[in-house]
Every structure is written in C-alpha cells, then in structure tokens.
C-alpha cells in the first residue's frame, strides 16, 4: 500500500505547483516523495535537492515539524498522513 | 508584489535600526509580513549563523510563520531584513548567491556609520539585483 503525505509548498516554489500551497504526494521516503513531486511538477526537485540527491544546504525540509537534517535527511522514512514542509533558507552575509 | 518603490513604515525602519544596533557586532535578521506588498507586521527572528559575517534565519521559526501564523492573517512574506554591521547596505555576493525568495524585498541596514544607520531595499531574482526606492 502506497504512502501518501501532505506537502506544504513555500511561496517561492508555488510557481511549480500552479499556486497550490499544499499538495499530496506518495513515497515511503522523503526522496521518493520528492521524485513524485518532480513527476507531477517538473523542475521542483532540483530546487530542493543537490545532484547527489541530498537536500540542499540552504533548503530546509521538515517532517511533522522536525528538520529532516535531524532525522535521516533525504532517506527519512515516511508514513501515510505525515506532513512535509519545505522552506528555502533566508540567509546571507556581509562577505 | 514589488515595484519601483517599497513603502517601509517609519516605525518599522526604526525597529530594524534598533534591532541592528542591539545585535551588533553580529548581524540581525527578521521579516516583514503583509498582503499585496503592504507591510503589516515586523518579526524579529533568530540568526543561527555563527560569527559576525553571516545570517541564517531560524528555519523552524520560518516554518511556523510561512505555513501557520502568516496564512492565518491572510499575510505572506513581504520583506526580509538583515544588518551589515561594518559594510555598506548593498547585497554581498553571499546575499545574492543565497537569495531564495524572489518575490520578497531584501532590506539591508548598514551600521558602517553608527551615527547614521541607513536602510536600502532590493529585489534579488536569479542573481539579478534591482534597487527599490524606500518610502516611509
């Protein structure tokens, strides 16, 4: 049975989802969910992952409010009903 | 939401300057929320970056704001601010490289001249920087 999760889409990435702030996606891991999102919304995944599949340093992905970096990153296991939230960093510096 | 100018209420400009002075020598950071580009509320946020030359807003705070607090008010992120304690109020190469919110106004407060802090505003889209006129 497939795992279905809700994904919260941040404002800067809503141009990939037709303006939707929340979409459904399937996948037993975060990586599979991002694959599924990319199939539905081409170009989405590269905004979130590096070429090696890991989550970009300056993008944060949360699973039920916990940063995936504190879990298993892109390999984090998911169960139906989980909520995935994606937030591009707000960061910079004087250098 | 951005045009040739951005209306930054005087009390918010003052709060950004006060926040910048309070955090120096570290960079301060926060955001302004509102609707249709109109500033409604300023949120001071935590800078998680180490040292004095970087800022990274606490992503946990952003998660709550972006998906709960702001939508509940019908708001979105209108502007993102941070300080440059020892350099001019213009986007650094790091600011440009890490800019991931193309619809937001990036406000930078300089304390290079501590007696005369200044705030300038920019959009940063795909590496392209455009300055906006800041009105109050």
Q: A76 burial class (0-12, 13-18, 19+ CB within 10 angstroms)?
A: buried
Give which of B11, B63, B41, B127 is closest to A10, Cα–Cα. B63
Distances (CA, A) of B114 to A33, B3, B44, B86, B124: 49, 30, 20, 9, 26
Active-site residue flag, B23: no
Question: Which pLDDT value is given to residue A1?
Answer: 66
The upper half-sphere exposure of residue A12, i.e. CA atoms within 13 Å in the direction of its Cβ, equals 20
* Count of A-B CB contacts under 8 Å: 87
Q: Contacts of residue B101 in chain A, CB cutoff 8 Å?
A: 11-12, 88, 90
Is B54–A95 a contact, with Cβ atoms under 8 angstroms apart? Answer: yes
The number of domains in chain B is 1
**Chain A residues within 8 A (CB-CB) of chain B?**
8, 10-12, 21, 58-60, 62, 65, 67, 85, 87-95
The kind and range of the H/E element at B45 are strand B38-45
Give per-residue pLDDT as tens, A33-91.
Answer: 999 999 999 999 999 999 999 999 999 999 999 999 999 999 999 999 999 999 999 99
Say which CATH number the domain at B76 has: 3.40.140.10
Q: How far apart are CA B47 and CA B50, in angstroms?
A: 8
Question: Which pLDDT value is given to residue A93?
Answer: 85
Structural domains in chain A, CATH included, are 4-88 (3.10.20.30)
Distances (CA, A) of B31 to B34, B39, B46: 10, 10, 11
Collapsing DSSP states into helix, strand and coil, what is residue B54? Answer: strand
| Nearest-CB residue to B92 (from A10, A90, A93) | A93
Domain that holds residue B102: 5-135
| Nearest-CB residue to B62 (from A21, A90, A93) | A90
- pLDDT above 60 (res A20): yes
């Amino acid at each position: 049975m497939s795992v279905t999760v809700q994904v919260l889409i941040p404002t800067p990435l809503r141009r990939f989802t037709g303006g939707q702030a929340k979409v459904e996606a399937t996948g037993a891991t975060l990586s599979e969910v991002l694959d599924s999102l990319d199939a539905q919304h081409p170009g989405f995944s590269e905004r979130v992952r590096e070429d090696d599949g890991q989550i970009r340093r300056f993008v944060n992905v949360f699973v039920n409010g916990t940063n995936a970096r504190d879990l298993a990153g892109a390999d984090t296991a998911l169960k139906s009903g989980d909520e995935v939230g994606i937030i591009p960093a707000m960061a910079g510096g004087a250098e | 939401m951005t045009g040739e100018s951005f209306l930054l209420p005087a009390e918010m400009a003052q709060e950004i300057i006060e926040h910048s002075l309070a955090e120096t020598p570290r960079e301060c950071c926060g955001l302004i929320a509102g609707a249709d580009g109109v500033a409604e509320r300023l949120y001071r946020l935590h800078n998680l970056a180490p040292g004095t030359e970087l800022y990274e807003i606490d992503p946990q705070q952003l998660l709550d704001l972006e998906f709960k607090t702001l939508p509940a008010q019908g708001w979105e992120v209108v502007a993102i601010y941070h300080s440059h304690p020892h350099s001019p109020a213009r986007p650094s190469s790091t600011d440009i490289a890490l800019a991931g919110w193309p619809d937001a106004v990036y406000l930078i407060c300089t304390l290079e001249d501590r007696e005369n802090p200044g705030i300038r505003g920019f959009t940063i889209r795909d590496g392209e920087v455009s300055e906006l006129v800041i009105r109050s």
